[in-house]
Structure 1
């Protein structure tokens, strides 16, 4: 089992992006997915940064892929997706409509926003050209084992969400713009004020969700720190780590130490908690009563 870093969900300043990928190049991750997944309005900022990020990551021996948008609604967004085919890099599909732009016979990856819930879907995608599949984060461990086994039979590695705020939904409406009384078309990129998303509580003050422009995320950080042995036994090929604005290189190193047998799951969880936004971890989708649950509580470790 090794590590994949997924695309950055958030809107950061250019220098933050540059330093992030320079630091990431020095970490023990195997591959990195680059590009804009959430909002096509951010793409002009990414275009100037992607070539340099590719260069520094490939020079460090990382495999690099480019993501599609998660919600393709406009003609220009379809054109942007088609343009990805001109680059000599794998493309990760995060909206099935992007397959229209991928020629028959061309290989691609499948990201966690595609609903691969059963063996039929997984095998259909492999026949269509998928050569790497990251499962949606809401699957149970039993389902992960079945799908990882099917992928292994087909010779295609299957990875799971290993760390990061969970991508729960994408909307055509921008929550950040509405929060600041702005129209989506004149948002002035207000989402950049919240580099790890804006937390949303219920009216009675209960922690609930996080918003990131048009995207809804979990407020807790999902972490498979205590589930790595189970996932390894299930045949999972890689853990996917989702970027955050601070301490991410330390997080990658911590997971690599766990995969290398140098530390325990409990020690990894303890190391992660002060590094993540809000300090809350969760892993409930695998086997808990709810996605926001944390199995560490049952081991006497507070959330």
Structure 2
């Protein structure tokens, strides 16, 4: 059986350059992932703070034997942000597009497709594969029953599933963090940096509901999809994605690597993940065709 790949997705939150340097240094040296995504995906206003650190991080990660992918913005809305997407796609590293406006730049050469692109059927996947997509991280809402149909139709494409982290659900033209603090988006003061795992949002009657991250809406719960190697092979999925949070991501990577290698079972893995001080309850409803907030069945 082919070894299942393990990806560390891009940091979705507003982390400082120093925090990112420290984080990726440890990922390079200790994490059991074979692919690492770099880049600002959520908010173009954050880009100037981190653009300068990516070259050194690329070098550090590649020296440690990790494959590096540059992930592009999911909602570029002005000329500067669209230009940054083009720059990432032309940088020489494998690029992951998260918005179809980047397609003309990468078409004809290998590229990846991120979970922000709506690939909900085999026709959409075939369209992208025909333009050079070699791997697709499918949208987080898809149940595994749909995943298996799409993967079976394109066995030449490496399909990836979002397996750990708060689920990226939507992006808006408005900034929720700025609004919460009585600020406008253009003068947001980057207050989203106060919530490095996103800010939980409750309903009016006090129920845990969602989380916000600048212009992004995420799940309140933390996805913990823990399939066995046999289940993944039957699905046709060859890679899982871990989304960075402030918890010990090296520990998370080791737990998932042991699961994917058959050295640990699902219940054992979930129990260990639950002890890591996560920002929300474990959920996996979308994969089972249920509401995404449905909690993981531990047994």
TM-score, normalisation: structure 1: 0.94
Do structure 1's residue 170 and structure 2's residue 171 form an aligned pair?
A: yes
Q: Which of the residues 4, 8, 19 maps onto 1:5? A: 8
Q: Deviations over 1:166-221 (max 9, x none)?
A: 00000010000010001111111100000000000001000000000000000000
Partner of 1:33: 37
Q: Counterparts of 1:214 and 1:279 in 2: how far apart (Å)?
A: 20
Q: Say how many residue pairs are matched.
A: 295
Report the alpha carbon displacement of residue 54 of structure 1 after superposing the two structures with TM.
0.6
Q: Counterparts of 2:228 and 2:103 in 1: how far apart (Å)?
A: 33
Contact 1:163 1:221 in 2 (8 A): yes
Contact 2:197 2:279 in 1 (8 A): no
Q: Deviations over 1:74-118 (max 9, x none)?
A: 11111111112331101101011121333x412211001111111
Do structure 1's residue 78 and structure 2's residue 74 form an aligned pair?
A: no
Q: Which of the residues 126, 129, 138 maps onto 2:129? A: 126
Partner of 1:220: 221
Partner of 1:283: 284
Contact 1:226 1:269 in 2 (8 A): no
Q: Which of the residues 105, 108, 129 maps onto 1:105? A: 108
SS of equivalent to 1:166: strand
Structure 1 pair 275/267, CA: closer, same or farther in 2 (3 Å)?
same
SS of equivalent to 1:54: helix
Q: Counterparts of 2:150 and 2:7 in 1: how far apart (Å)?
A: 18
Report the alpha carbon displacement of residue 276 of structure 1 after superposing the two structures with TM.
4.7
Contact 1:7 1:67 in 2 (8 A): yes
Partner of 2:20: 17
Partner of 1:46: 50
Q: Which runs of 5+ in 2 are unaligned?
A: none
Q: Which runs of 5+ in 1 are unaligned?
A: none
TM-score, normalisation: structure 2: 0.95
Structure 1 pair 207/66, CA: closer, same or farther in 2 (3 Å)?
same
Report the alpha carbon displacement of residue 291 of structure 1 after superposing the two structures with TM.
1.0
Q: Deviations over 1:105-136 (max 9, x none)?
A: 12211001111111111011001110111111
Matches within 5 A, 1:239-254: 239-254=240-255
Q: Counterparts of 1:143 and 1:170 in 2: how far apart (Å)?
A: 24
Report the alpha carbon displacement of residue 229 of structure 1 after superposing the two structures with TM.
4.4
SS of equivalent to 1:296: coil
Matches within 5 A, 1:58-207: 58-102=62-106, 104-152=107-155, 155-207=156-208
Contact 2:172 2:216 in 1 (8 A): yes
SS of equivalent to 2:269: helix
SS of equivalent to 1:237: strand
Structure 1 pair 226/122, CA: closer, same or farther in 2 (3 Å)?
closer
